[in-house]
Each structure stands twice: as C-alpha cells, then as structure tokens.
C-alpha cells in the first residue's frame, strides 16, 4: 500500500523547505515536491544568495578603492567579471546542496517534478514519471517569479530581469535599472561598483520608497556621492531596442526625457506562482494570482495551507521576503502539529537592503507611527560621530529610533550605514520584547562597536546623546 504523508509541501524555497524541516522535526511524515532541478527556490538560486555573493565582490572593490588610505599599497586591481559570476554560482551550489543535506538529515522525502492538487488529500507529481502522493495536509509554497510590465518584456539580452541579469556573460557598460526597491537598488549598487554606469528610475518620489523617508533621503545622498544617477517620480513611457542597446522614454512631471544604455534591468516586483496547481476544483481562493489565507495560513480548502510569496492575507501587500516565508513555514508546521502557535506580527518584519551603504529597518516608520495615532518621539545618531565607523572608514548614515512618547515603547528602528543589516538584529529582538527606549539606553554596548550608534540613538530619543 502507498504510504500516506502527514504533510506534502509543494515548492522548496525558504518557505517550503523550512516548513518541511519544522514539520519533520515535530514528528510529521513529510515530503517536498520541487519542479526545479535544484532545491532552494528563488532565494537560494536567483535571489538572496547570488545577489549577496555579487555584493560581496562589489564591497571588496569599494574597500580596495580606499586601500591606500588604510596604508595598503595595492599595485593593480580590477574586476574579473566572469570569476565574480563563477564564485556567485559556487556559493549558490553550496547552499542548494546544503538544503539537499537538510532534507536527508530530517528524513524528508524529495519528489522532483511539478506538483498539483489532485483531489482531497492527493498531490500529483509530474516528473520523470507521474505519481500521486496521499497526504493529510498540503502546504503550497510555490513562490513568485519576476513581474513583467507590458511593453518591457525581457528578451534577456537588452532587457533583463532579476533572473537573467544573474546569467550575464559579459559586463554591460551601462544599465538602466527600473524600480528602486531592494532588488533594483542592490543591482544598481553592484554594477556601479563593477564600473557599469547605472541609472535608477523610480515612479515613487523616493528611492527605497517603503523605508522611513529619512533613510530614503540618506541613501539618495549616498548614491549621488557615488555618482549613481537616479530619477524619481518618473514613469517609463516607452522602451525601444536597437543594435546598441535600449532607449527609454521617461516622463517626469511635464518633462519628457530619453535615457540610453546598453541594457535595461526590469526590477518592478514579483508575480505569484499559483497557476497549474489544480486549485480550480478546490475551495482555495485566489485574488489576482495570490492565494488567500488566514492568520494560520489556511486556504479555503480544509487541510490545504499556503505560505510565502504566493499568499495574500487580504490586508495589503504581503512582504515578499525569505525570512517571512520561512517564519510562516514554521508557524504552519506548528499549527498542523497542533502546537497552537502565535500568529505572525507583520508590524515587526525586518527589512534589509544590501546596497552600499546598507539600509535596514524593523517596525513602524515615523510617518506610519503618526498615522496610527502615536504621539511620536525620535532619536537619531549619525555614524559620522561613531568611533568604530571612523575606524572602518565608513561614516555615512545613521540610526533612528521611533518611539511612543506615552509609554516609551520602541515602535521602529531604521538604519543606513555600515553593517546596518547585521545591526538590525538587536532592534528586532527589542521590538519582540516590547522594549522601551530607556531599556536600550540602560543596556551596556561594547566599545568600540557600530552597535553603540543604536545606544546613542536611544540616548538621543531620551533627549541627550553622550557622544555628540
């Protein structure tokens, strides 16, 4: 008799594979279905991991530019584009193999092929052969793919998306990056460090438009200093291709501008993957491609759950982030195992953009806190006044704390600057523990560290910085 699984997960991205590990660790008989040759999904194969590997090369290039100032004579250095791309692929391969190992270690059965629902408690897998799995629960974690705008369809030569830019075989001399969200900003940063002339075009008034406005303004200053051109409040009217590259007509207010470059990178968001999943004959509801779920990730069909980039909770955009997908995977596995988990608090999602300088945040922006009716106080400390930032030679940016005046609770922490994405963890824990500004102020921080800037921002929110 065919075995019956407790859980079958469809999709092995950070949502799916983490859900599978957690389910297995909770004693559930678990399988995972993946249509790609390799495990890991967008994050591991064409997202978080390869982009950060390229950013590591870019960071090294930036450091080498300052080597002389640090007393290091570097005779000659330059980018070996193909080697940078090869190293990126090596990092990806190791991470994907790591997931294979984790599946084995946790005794999760891996099925390679396209998974779809095939009646109550059944998942059909179309791979080398067709098989039908029996299962008590299904978790859909099929993720997302790059969004395509009409008239800007990628040909993967002149017009690229975030997948094909990672397959380049030669370095373009110039690139127009459409979209100043995390993905667009990171690629603009990488290619500028590599020596490609990058120009960012954003339809909203600021770069990184969902961040606290102070952070957006700071990163704009930094990009100006780096000579990365950008146009905000700018809409693309037309994209034309020719032998040399692309010609992009842009409308900014009443003015029309034409930009030319060798390539255009479209980084305008992601589209959910919910087609061909056999959802039609089920109670699973789909809204503009996103699978509708409740706070325990239940779809409208009993025992069918969905997590990660493919979902909507029906209350505005769902953050398309790897750690969100993974967290939702853990909650779902715990729920299936009867562990009664707490729902995810979407006010405390960390956000990290690994451009140079880095931008990171958790919690409410100053504007959002005010909109929610809080009497807001803020504290800000610039890295230019931090000893450690001077030591490492990176003194742009700041730490900003947004807090509630009445109860002193920290509502949000926003950072731009060196290692901002690593410094964020203290703020995440702080928000989780509903910390007050005073508690951060009374927490001793090691000296000299960049984290002292968090401490000083707390001092600032209390009305008195020590080192400024």
Cβ distance to ligand FAD smaller for residue 208 or 460: 208
CB of 329 to ligand FAD, least distance (A): 8
Chain positions 299 to 328 lying near ligand FAD, rule: CB under 6 A, are 308-309, 320-323, 325
User: From the centroid of its chain, how far is CA 226?
Assistant: 23
Choose one: 128-136, 139-147, 447-455, 459-467; the region binding ligand FAD (CB under 6 A). 139-147
CB of 112 to ligand FAD, least distance (A): 9
Q: Which of 20, 41, 96, 417 binds ligand FAD (CB under 6 A)?
A: 41
| Size of site (CB under 6 A) for ligand FAD | 35
- What is the x/- site pattern for ligand FAD, positions 255-284, by CB under 6 A? ------------------x---x-------
For 396, left (φ over 0), alpha (ψ -120 to 50), or beta? beta
Q: Which of 11, 184, 382, 412 binds ligand FAD (CB under 6 A)?
A: 11
Angle at 292 between CA 286 and CA 296, to 5 degrees: 155
Check residue 298 and report its DSSP letter.
Answer: B
Collapsing DSSP to helix, strand or coil, 178 comes out as strand
For 188, left (φ over 0), alpha (ψ -120 to 50), or beta? alpha
Our answer to whether residue 447 is catalytic in this structure is: yes
CA nearest to 269, candidates 451, 12, 42: 42
Cβ distance to ligand FAD smaller for residue 11 or 154: 11
Q: Which of 29, 63, 87, 114 binds ligand FAD (CB under 6 A)?
A: 114
CB of 23 to ligand FAD, least distance (A): 14
CB of 459 to ligand FAD, least distance (A): 31
Q: Which of 21, 160, 176, 183 binds ligand FAD (CB under 6 A)?
A: 183
| Rounded Cα–Cα distance for residues 284 and 289 (Å) | 11
| Rounded Cα–Cα distance for residues 189 and 193 (Å) | 6
Q: Which of 95, 96, 137, 142 binds ligand FAD (CB under 6 A)?
A: 142
Q: Which of 51, 96, 164, 189 binds ligand FAD (CB under 6 A)?
A: 51
Cβ distance to ligand FAD smaller for residue 64 or 168: 168
CA nearest to 9, candidates 281, 341, 297: 297
Cβ distance to ligand FAD smaller for residue 50 or 379: 50
Cβ distance to ligand FAD smaller for residue 35 or 400: 35
For residue 16, state whether it binds ligand FAD (rule: CB under 6 A): yes
Q: What are phi and psi of 206, to 5 degrees?
A: -135, 155
Read out DSSP for 374-439?
Answer: --EEEEEEEGGG-HHHHHHT----EEEEEEETTT-BEEEEEEEETTHHHHHHHHHHHHHTT-BHHH
Q: Which of 30, 57, 144, 465 binds ligand FAD (CB under 6 A)?
A: 144
CB of 293 to ligand FAD, least distance (A): 12
- Catalytic residue, from 156, 323, 447, 464: name it: 447
Check residue 319 and report its DSSP letter.
Answer: P
CB of 275 to ligand FAD, least distance (A): 9
| Rounded Cα–Cα distance for residues 364 and 436 (Å) | 15
Cβ distance to ligand FAD smaller for residue 21 or 369: 21
For residue 13, state whether it binds ligand FAD (rule: CB under 6 A): yes
For residue 179, state whether it binds ligand FAD (rule: CB under 6 A): no
CB of 324 to ligand FAD, least distance (A): 7
CB of 55 to ligand FAD, least distance (A): 9
Give the DSSP H/E element, type plus range, for residue 43: helix 41-46
| Rounded Cα–Cα distance for residues 282 and 299 (Å) | 10
CA atoms within 13 A on the CB side of 348: 17
For residue 36, state whether it binds ligand FAD (rule: CB under 6 A): yes
Beta strands in 192-345 (DSSP E): 197-201, 229-231, 234-241, 246-252, 255-261, 263-266, 270-272, 286-287, 290-292, 304-306, 311-312
Active-site residues: which are they?
447
In the complex, the residues that contact ligand FAD under the rule CB under 6 A are 10-16, 33-36, 41-43, 47-48, 51, 114-116, 141-144, 162, 183, 273, 277, 308-309, 320-323, 325
């Amino acid at each position: 008799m065919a075995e019956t699984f407790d859980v079958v997960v469809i999709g092995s991205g950070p949502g799916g594979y983490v859900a599978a590990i957690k389910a297995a660790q909770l004693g559930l008989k678990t399988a995972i279905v993946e249509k790609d040759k390799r495990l890991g999904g967008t994050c591991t194969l064409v997202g978080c991991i390869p982009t950060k590997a390229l950013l590591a090369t870019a960071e090294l290039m930036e450091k080498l530019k300052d080597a002389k100032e640090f007393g290091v004579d570097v005779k000659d250095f330059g980018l070996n584009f193909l080697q940078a791309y090869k190293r990126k692929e090596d990092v990806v391969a190791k991470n994907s193999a790591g997931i294979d190992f984790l599946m084995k270690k946790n005794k999760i059965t891996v099925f390679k092929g396209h998974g779809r629902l095939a009646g109550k408690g059944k998942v059909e897998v179309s791979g080398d052969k067709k098989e039908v799995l029996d299962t008590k629960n299904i978790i859909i974690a099929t993720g997302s793919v790059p969004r395509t705008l009409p008239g800007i369809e990628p040909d993967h030569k002149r017009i690229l998306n975030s997948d094909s830019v990672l397959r380049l075989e030669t370095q373009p001399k110039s690139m127009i990056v459409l979209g100043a969200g995390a993905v667009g900003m990171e690629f603009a940063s990488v290619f500028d460090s590599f020596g490609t002339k990058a120009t960012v075009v954003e339809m909203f008034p600021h770069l990184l438009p969902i961040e606290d406005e102070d952070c957006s303004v700071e990163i704009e200053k930094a990009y100006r200093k780096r000579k990365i051109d950008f146009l905000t409040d700018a809409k693309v009217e037309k994209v034309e291709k020719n032998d040399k590259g692309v010609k992009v007509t842009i409308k900014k207010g009443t003015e029309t501008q034409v930009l030319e470059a060798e390539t255009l990178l479209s980084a305008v968001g992601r589209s959910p993957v919910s087609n061909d999943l056999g959802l039609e004959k089920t109670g699973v509801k789909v809204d503009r491609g996103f699978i509708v779920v409740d706070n325990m990730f239940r779809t409208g069909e009993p025992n069918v759950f969905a997590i990660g980039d493919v979902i909507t909770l029906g209350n505005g955009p769902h953050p398309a982030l790897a750690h969100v997908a993974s967290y939702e995977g853990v909650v779902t596995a715990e729920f299936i195992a009867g562990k009664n988990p707490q729902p995810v608090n979407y006010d405390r999602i960390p956000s990290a953009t690994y451009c140079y300088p880095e931008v990171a945040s958790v919690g409410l922006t100053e504007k959002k806190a005010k909109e929610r009716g809080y009497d807001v106080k803020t504290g800000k400390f610039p890295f230019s006044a931090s000893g450690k930032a001077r030591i490492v030679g990176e003194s742009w940016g700041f730490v900003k704390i947004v807090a509630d005046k009445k109860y002193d609770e920290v509502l949000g922490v926003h950072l731009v600057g060196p290692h901002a994405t690593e410094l964020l963890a203290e703020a995440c824990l702080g928000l989780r523990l509903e910390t007050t500004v005073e508690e951060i102020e009374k927490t001793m921080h090691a000296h000299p560290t960049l984290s002292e800037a968090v401490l000083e921002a707390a001092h600032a929110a209390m009305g008195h910085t020590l080192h400024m």
